[in-house]
A and B are shown apart, each in its own frame.
Chain A
Amino acid sequence: MKKLFFGGVHPRYKKKLSTQTMDFHTMIPKQVVIPMQQHIGVPCKPLVKVGEHVDCGQMIGDGEGLCVPVHASVSGTVLAIEVRPHPTLGECLAVVIENDEKNTEVKGEIPHNKEEILSAIRNAGIVGMGGAAFPGNIKALSALGKAELLIANACECEPYITADDCLLRTGAKEVLEGMMIMADLVDAGHIVLAVEDNKKEAIIKLKELQSDYPKVELKILPTRYPQGSEKQLIKALTGKEVMTGDLPISAGCLVFNVSTFAAIYQAVNGGQALTKRIVTISGEGITKPQNFIVPIGTSFKEVIEAAGGISEKTERVISGGPMMGVAQKQLSVPVVKATNSILCLLRDENGTAENPVCIRCGKCISACPMHLQPVYTHRYVEAGQLEDIRRLNVIDCLECGCCSYTCPAKLPLVESCRKGKKMLREAEKK
């Protein structure tokens, strides 16, 4: 198959684990923990008090600047406002709500012009739901009148995860509607929905809908990790490379995950805030791998129990995918807006090497989608040679994990790249 971007790997995808059952339902948690930060930027300040009653969809936190609000995902009573564990930030101030299961709901106003649409997207708390969690309204604002190409990202290139796949199988219309809203908003000339060729059922669904949305071009890409990375997807679709530090709009592109488009549709058309999302629960350690619609703030523990619990042999529980996800030390962490999956993995038999030293095979260089040289980054980080680390452009590293994945000596190459970036940041401060 033709390579549309340099590097990458073909991990075992294991997506069928979680697509055996398709009748996924909405979970009803007893309690939700809503962190005040679920986006890149400034954390929200709580807008409610302990003991107060809240409705589902009510704004409970907001802030200034690069910030989008957070909402109650159930109706009930605020039990506490305190620092709680967070799946990616370690810990974060959070509002704890006890679910009264009455499901009383508040909705936002339906917007009528572009300005109102932008503020509706903001007030619904919409962030990039593919993992990065960048505020959606700010991304859209940066692209107003400049976007030549609007891209819906349904690559979902990480193994195990099928949340976007499920969304397309069951709610492709909402995604396409969301795309049309965004295309009108930013005056995008060209609209593409990009999906990898391992999602056969979703592709069939999309093809059925194609005649209703003639402006949307369906692009079926050969499956390869990390095609869902924004830079790699833009490269695969347009041949353009977005440099580190530049926004995709510098290449005329505006990219959102398909889940984000569905959330935009619900916000603009139904006044619904982002209070729930599809989450894949999978891995060899879970009893019944499947997808759920999970209210934001539901604990990993509750999701795992709903999927039949985990086996004693589970070694890691991961928020996100196996390539870039974050290993959790406790199961009390809540699902946040960017949590597309919870994985329960057993011990990786490929994880250790007999003699963990670099044999200079160069596979990490051939696998790096950012044209980096992890073999040398690793060497210079170990030796503390700051000048050499800088020369290697380690700042470009996406931490996609291809280098570590492919390394026959099982060296911690991604970790070294992270360390290298940290060393450079610290040196700059001085």
Chain B
Amino acid sequence: MKLTVASSPHIRGNFRTNRIMLDVVFALLPALAMGIVVMGSRAFLVTCVSIVSSLVWEYLYSLVTRTRNTLKDGSALVTGLLLAMTLPASVPYWLVIIGSGFAIIVVKALCGGLGQNIFNPALSARALMMLIYPAGMVRFFVPKADGVTAATPLHHMVMPALPEETLWEMAIGRCSGSLGEISAVALLLGGAYLVYRKVISLRIPAAYLGTVAVITLIFPKAGNPLQWMGYSLFSGGLMLGAIFMATDYATSPVTPLGQILYGIGCGILTVLLRYYGLYPEGVTYAILTMNALVWILDRYTAPRRFGKQKGGAAS
């Protein structure tokens, strides 16, 4: 018998990168299903195009650079799916293919690959797509009238006015918007699953949503403060962003305190961008901005040294 001599520990937990990625995909399914139910088959096709093109870009990159084929780690699948969730169902397919290529090749692979990228690939791609073909990114279906496009609830809130939809309709997703963002309930369900599976902690989503809730409650722009807060939480990409985008491992802080500060920062920037920005939505740019600050947050929120009491001199 040959005995292996290796460093401890001799047992490992059952966490795995690809298991985590599959959990994220699974957690996104309810929201995706709502998108397809409300917006129809084109939502499904956009998702397919985004996922397949992401996988193809990932494969091509490993082929051209002769590096390890990383399709199995599942991250390209997640990027493709997340990108699709942020897009309107009417987006042109060619734009999706360009976007996914940018996400996979430029934002992820060229920045060092899995775990090394500074910016969220899906959101970076969305930002680029907004830049190169805005017209393809702002037409949204109206769920009540098939094939008609119209303004999202957020467009009303810019006026400022409360949207036509009831809060309940917004929560379940009977409103227009990007194909994965409309149903807050489905997204929260997915988030609860991720917390249960210990894929994410509550720190970032709770800090993010909590901050938005507090600011919109104190500074409402229409209706009564509670109503305004409710609409602010359920509209646009906030739930999708707070639960699935801001919690992206590679582009968020690793320290517990850093994660809370990061969530608060995302919340403040989102409200500021929604109130004063050029576009009705601010989630994408809020998260991308905070992505750039992650290294500072990590550096200055290192855990207190064991044995060093709070308020003691830093070593």
Query: A-side interface residues toward B, CB under 8 Å?
Result: 6, 9, 11-12, 159, 231, 241-244, 246, 310, 312, 314-318, 322-331, 343, 345, 348, 350-351, 353-355, 357-363, 365-366, 368-373, 375, 392-393, 396, 399, 401, 404-410, 412, 414-415, 418
Pairwise interchain contact A348-B254, C-beta atoms closer than 8 A: no
Contact indicator A315/B3 (Cβ below 8 Å): yes
- Of B92-100, B139-147, B269-277, B300-308, the stretch lying at the interface with chain A is B300-308
CA distance A323 to B10 in the complex (A): 6
* Chain B window 108-125, contacts with chain A (Cβ cutoff 8 Å), 1 for yes, 0 for no: 000001111000000000
Instruction: Determine how close the nearest CB of chain A comes to the CB of B9; give it in whole angstroms.
Output: 3
Q: Does B311 contact A (CB under 8 A)?
A: no
Beta-carbon nearest neighbor of B70 in chain A: A355
CB contact under 8 A between A362 and B259, given known A315-B3, A357-B114: yes
A-B contact pairs, 13 of them (CB 8 A): A11-B13, A312-B1, A323-B10, A325-B8, A329-B3, A329-B5, A330-B3, A359-B114, A392-B302, A393-B305, A408-B16, A408-B19, A414-B7
Judging by beta carbons under 8 Å apart, are B15 and A373 in contact?
A: no
**Are B68 and A355 touching (Cβ within 8 A)?**
yes
Q: Which residues of B contact A351 (CB under 8 A)?
A: 12
Determine the chain B residues whose CB is within 8 A of the CB of A362 once the complex forms: 249, 253-256, 259
Partner of B307, one of A243, A360, A392, A405: A243
Contacts A316-B4, A357-B113 aside, 8 further interface pairs with beta carbons under 8 A come to: A11-B11, A241-B309, A243-B305, A243-B308, A316-B10, A362-B249, A362-B256, A372-B303
Chain B residues lying within 8 Å of A396, measured Cβ to Cβ, are 305-307
* Contact B307 A414, beta carbon cutoff 8 Å: no
Majority secondary structure of chain B interface residues (helix, strand, loop or mixed): loop
CB pair B306 A243 closer than 8 Å: yes
Instruction: Kindly provide the distance from the CB of B105 to the nearest chain A CB, expressed in whole angstroms.
Output: 17
Contact B249 A323 (CB under 8 A): no
In the complex, which of the residues A324, A365, A366 contacts B8, with contact meaning CB atoms closer than 8 Å?
A324
B306 to chain A, nearest CB (A): 5
Contact A324 B9 (CB under 8 A): yes
Cross-interface CB contact of B304 among A9, A359, A371, cutoff 8 Å: A371
Encoded as 1 (CB less than 8 Å from any A CB) or 0, chain B from 29 to 71 comes to: 0000000000000000000000000000000000000001010
Minimal beta-carbon separation of A326 from chain B (angstroms): 7
- Residues of chain B within 8 A (CB-CB) of A325 are 8, 10
CB contacts (< 8 Å) of A324 on chain B: these are 8-9
CB of B17 within 8 Å of the partner chain: yes
B130 at the interface (CB under 8 A from A): no
**Smallest Cβ-Cβ distance to B14: which chain A residue:** A350
Does any Cβ of A come within 8 Å of B315's Cβ?
yes
**B10 pairs with A327, CB closer than 8 A:** yes
Residue of A nearest to B305 (CB): A393
Contact with A along B251-272 (1 / 0, CB 8 A): 0111110010000000000000
Q: Are B11 and A359 in contact (CB under 8 A)?
A: no
Among all A-B residue pairs, the 8 with the closest Cβ atoms: A243-B307, A401-B9, A362-B254, A371-B303, A355-B73, A408-B15, A350-B12, A359-B115
Q: Which of B254, B305, B308, B309 has the most CB of A within 10 A?
A: B254
Residue ID in chain B nearest A343 by CB atoms: B10
Distance in angstroms from B199 CB to nearest chain A CB is: 8
Cβ of A410 and Cβ of B256 under 8 Å apart? no
Given contacts A327-B5, A393-B315, contact A246 B307 (CB under 8 A): yes
Residues of the A chain whose Cβ atoms lie less than 8 Å from the Cβ of B249: 359-362
Residues of chain B within 8 A of A310, CB atoms compared? 1
Is the beta-carbon distance between B6 and A327 smaller than 8 angstroms? yes
In the assembled complex, the Cα of A415 lies from the Cα of B201 at a distance in Å of 27
Q: Cβ of A375: which chain B residues have Cβ within 8 Å of it?
A: 254
Which of B8, B72, B113, B308 meets A399, CB within 8 Å?
Answer: B8
Judge whether B289 is part of the interface by a CB distance below 8 angstroms.
no
CB–CB B250/A359 < 8 A: yes
- Is the CB–CB distance between A406 and B256 below 8 Å? no
B254: chain A residues at CB < 8 Å are: 360-362, 365, 373, 375
A348 touches B4 (CB 8 A): no
Q: A350-B14, A354-B73 are contacts. A327–B3 as well, Cβ < 8 Å?
A: yes
